[in-house]
Amino acid sequence: MVIMGLGHAGLPLARRACEAGLSVTGYDISPPVVRDLNAGVSHIDDVPAAALADMRSAGFTATDDDAVLATADTVVISVPTGLDERGDPDLGPVRDASRAVAAHLRPGVLVVLESTSHPGTTEETVRPLLEKGSGLRVGTDFHLAFSPERIDPGNRRFGIRDTPRVIGGCTPLCAKYAVAFFSRFVDAVVVARGTREAEMAKLVENIHRYVNIALVDELAAYCGHAGIDVWDVLDCAATKPFGYTPFRPGPGVGGHCIPVDPRYLAARAEQAGHPLHLLAAARDVHTRTPHAVVDRTAALLARDHVPVDGARVVLLGVTYKADVADTRHSPAEPIARELRRRGASVSFHDPHVTSFAVDGVAVPAVETLAALSGADVAVLLQGHRCYDPAALTAAGCRVLDTRGRLTSPGPAREEPEALP
């Protein structure tokens, strides 16, 4: 098999397939990525050097030569589906990958798209490119399916093997081939009615989080205005054993999926004349949240009569998720940008990140938390395990806690004493 795209989804998939005994080759258009992987250097947290060494021992190699596609009996397209400079969906990598596959496609090959996109991408974008470029026909000469990645970086409980695989085939036979393939290295597969249903299912998973994170962020803003402890509210609500899914406020959404994937459905729905108003409202909240963090930072500085212009601000945790090294779409970026715009001197501390830049301008790093004593305010953006609440409380400067690490011990579980 050949996996196209050796990023946060493709490389872990290659690892799991190697563990199951499959012959795997990775294809990526980035020569540095290919060079490093073949040298035993991984750029993905979920595939550490030891795991990569095991993969290479099992026969895994990486290449930037698309001629390797001619040798594959199965091709998995796992390329990025991001946004363009206007914030609109960008299917360019998917189209490029499809054209490359088409140029080398042989009868009997299974092609699987696992890149997240709007419903219809497999049938309306990938299929025509494969058929036109190869002269072959889906369901007759080759097989095509959609099976979305469900990677959760840093998750120590669930991985590719024990996370069910959703599969949607262009034809029932396509689905059968895809089921046979994935059943070799995942514990369970779920067959959708078709590719559109599988594509939509992936979007629903991330939209569920997108909307609910916006909800708790907006509730947190209201609770702050009303003098209500939002962390205590959410801790109490989370004790309900049914009918409630816990979500926590923060400085804004980040990562490749949550801020990006809903835009694919929203754009598709708008084109169809059926705008999704709840998604638009959630997007508005997510756009405003980082600016609200800066406003709260300014209010905290004002308590000490320190103007934002010239204030020394340290951002604690600039990754989008706790205990990972990924800064993609991190809310730290718009927060740092706005603080700089208001004249603040911004630096950062993050044990998982060696460098962090905003608009091409590096943000200075603070090596140790001891340096906080020289700051006017520290803003806790990410709840890395290394950030001990007691140490931050004694940091020597004010701390704005956007994650509830310093103020949320959780509700008491004991029964109250009986009244006399």
The domain that holds 396 is classified in CATH as 3.40.50.720
- 360 in a domain, yes or no? yes
pLDDT band at 121 (very low <50, low <70, confident <90, very high): very high
Same domain, 343 and 384: yes
pLDDT band at 408 (very low <50, low <70, confident <90, very high): low
Answer yes or no: do 249 and 161 share one domain: no
Radius of gyration of the chain from Cα atoms?
24
Q: What is the pLDDT of residue 416?
A: 37
* Mean pLDDT, residues 32-38: 97
Q: Are strands 361-362 and 357-358 parallel, antiparallel or unpaired?
A: antiparallel
Name the residue range of residue 6's domain.
2-193
What is the per-residue pLDDT across 348-374, written as a single tens digit (0 to 9) for each?
999 999 999 999 999 999 988 888 889
- In this prediction, residue 368 carries a pLDDT of 84
Structure tokens given for 259: 């801020």
Query: 409 pLDDT band (50/70/90 cuts)?
Result: low
User: What predicted TM-score, i.e. pTM, was given to this entire model?
Assistant: 0.91
* Same-domain check for residues 185 and 284: no
Q: Specify the pLDDT at position 411.
A: 53
Tell me the per-residue pLDDT of 149-175, one tens digit each, with 9 for 90 and over: 999 988 889 999 999 999 999 999 999
Is 257 a catalytic site residue? yes
Average model confidence (pLDDT) across the chain: 94
What mean pLDDT comes out for the span 35-60?
96
Strand segments (E) across 250-359: 312-316, 345-349, 357-358
Do 94 and 186 share a domain, yes or no? yes
Summarize the confidence of residues 85-101 as an average pLDDT: 94
Examine the fold and report which residue of 193, 223, 256 is the final residue of a domain before the chain moves on.
193
pLDDT at 417 over 60: no
Domain count, the chain: 2
Do residue 142 and residue 87 come from a single domain? yes
Across the beta sheet with 165-169, the strand order is: 61-63, 25-27, 2-4, 74-77, 110-113, 143-146, 165-169, 189-191
Supply the pLDDT for residue 107. Answer: 98
Q: Which of 62-71, 84-93, 212-221, 289-298 has the lowest mean pLDDT?
A: 84-93
- 57-82 mean pLDDT: 97
Q: Report yes or no on 416 lying in a domain.
A: no
Q: Are residues 13 and 89 in the same domain?
A: yes
Q: Are residues 222 and 183 in the same domain?
A: no
Find the catalytic residue in 236, 257, 386, 397: 257
Q: Is the pLDDT of residue 81 over 90?
A: yes
Q: What pLDDT, on a 0 to 100 scale, did the predictor assign at position 410?
A: 52
